[in-house]
Chain A
Amino acid sequence: MAASSLIPGQKQLSNVEELLEGIWKQNPVFVMVLGMCPVLAVSVSAVNALSMGLATTFVLVASTFLVSLMRNIIPKEVRIATYILIIATFVTVVDYLIQAISLAVYDALGAFIQLIVVNCIILGRAEAHASKNPPLKSVLNALGMGAGFTIGLFALGSVREILGAGKLFGIALFGPEFQPWVVMVLPPGGFFVLGAWLLLFNWLDSRKAKPAAMQAAEVRT
Chain B
Amino acid sequence: MTETLSQIFIGTLLANNFVLAMFLGLCPFLGVSARLNTALPMGAATTFVMLVASLCAFGLNWLVSEFELEFLRLISYIVIIASAVQLVEMVLKKYSPALFRALGIYLPLITTNCAVLGVALFQTAREYSFTQALTFATAAGLGFTLALLLMAGLRERLRLATVPNVVQGTALSLMLAGLLSLAFMGFAGLGAGE
A159 interfacial contact with B, CB 8 Å: no
**20 interchain pairs, CB-CB under 8 A:** A36-B26, A36-B27, A37-B24, A37-B25, A41-B23, A81-B79, A81-B82, A84-B79, A92-B71, A115-B117, A117-B117, A118-B111, A118-B112, A119-B112, A123-B112, A187-B23, A189-B178, A191-B175, A191-B181, A198-B169
A98 interfacial contact with B, CB 8 Å: no
Interface residues of A (CB under 8 A from B): 33-34, 36-38, 40-41, 80-81, 84-85, 88-89, 91-92, 95-96, 110-111, 114-115, 117-120, 123, 183, 186-192, 194-196, 198-199, 202-203, 206
| Docked pose: A18 CA to B175 CA in angstroms | 32
Contact with A along B110-132 (1 / 0, CB 8 A): 01111011100110010000000
Which of A88, A189, A203 touches B74 (beta carbons < 8 Å)?
Answer: A88
SS class, residues of chain A in contact with chain B: helix
- B174 to A: closest C-beta gap in Å: 4
CB-CB under 8 A for A198 and B181, given A37-B26, A85-B75, A123-B112: no
Q: A190 to chain B: which residues have CB within 8 Å? A: 23, 178
- B106 to A: closest C-beta gap in Å: 11
Q: A37 to chain B: which residues have CB within 8 Å? A: 23-27, 114
Pair B27/A120 contact, Cβ less than 8 Å: yes
Q: Give 17 new A-B contacts, CB below 8 A, not counting A115-B24, A195-B172, A202-B169.
A: A80-B82, A81-B79, A88-B75, A88-B78, A111-B122, A115-B114, A115-B121, A118-B78, A120-B27, A123-B112, A186-B185, A187-B23, A191-B177, A191-B178, A191-B181, A194-B174, A198-B171
Chain B interface residue count, Cβ-Cβ cutoff 8 angstroms = 43
CB-CB under 8 A for A111 and B78, given A36-B23, A195-B178: no
Q: Which of B30, B109, B112, B185 has the most CB of A within 10 A?
A: B112
Pair A40/B166 contact, Cβ less than 8 Å: no
| Docked pose: A164 CA to B93 CA in angstroms | 47
Q: A91 to chain B: which residues have CB within 8 Å? A: 74
Which of A118, A187, A203 touches B114 (beta carbons < 8 Å)?
Answer: A118
Q: Which of B26, B82, B114, B117 has the most CB of A within 10 A?
A: B114
Q: B78 to chain A: which residues have CB within 8 Å? A: 84-85, 88, 117-118
Q: Which residue of B lies closest to A194 (CB)?
A: B174
Q: Which of A37, A40, A41, A192 has the most CB of B within 10 A?
A: A37
Q: B74 to chain A: which residues have CB within 8 Å? A: 88, 91-92, 95, 114, 117
Pair A202/B167 contact, Cβ less than 8 Å: yes
| Docked pose: A96 CA to B79 CA in angstroms | 20
- A74 to B: closest C-beta gap in Å: 16
| Docked pose: A31 CA to B37 CA in angstroms | 28
Contact with A along B68-101 (1 / 0, CB 8 A): 0001001100110010000000000000000000
Q: B5 to chain A: which residues have CB within 8 Å? A: none
Pair A198/B174 contact, Cβ less than 8 Å: yes
Pair A187/B21 contact, Cβ less than 8 Å: yes
- B172 to A: closest C-beta gap in Å: 8
| Docked pose: A89 CA to B75 CA in angstroms | 7
Q: A114 to chain B: which residues have CB within 8 Å? A: 74, 117, 121
Q: B30 to chain A: which residues have CB within 8 Å? A: 33, 36
Pair A187/B185 contact, Cβ less than 8 Å: yes
- A46 to B: closest C-beta gap in Å: 18
| Docked pose: A85 CA to B83 CA in angstroms | 13
- B2 to A: closest C-beta gap in Å: 21
Q: A120 to chain B: which residues have CB within 8 Å? A: 27, 109, 112
Q: Which residue of A lies closest to B25 (CB)?
A: A37
- B133 to A: closest C-beta gap in Å: 15
Contact with A along B167-194 (1 / 0, CB 8 A): 1011110110111011011000000000
- B136 to A: closest C-beta gap in Å: 13
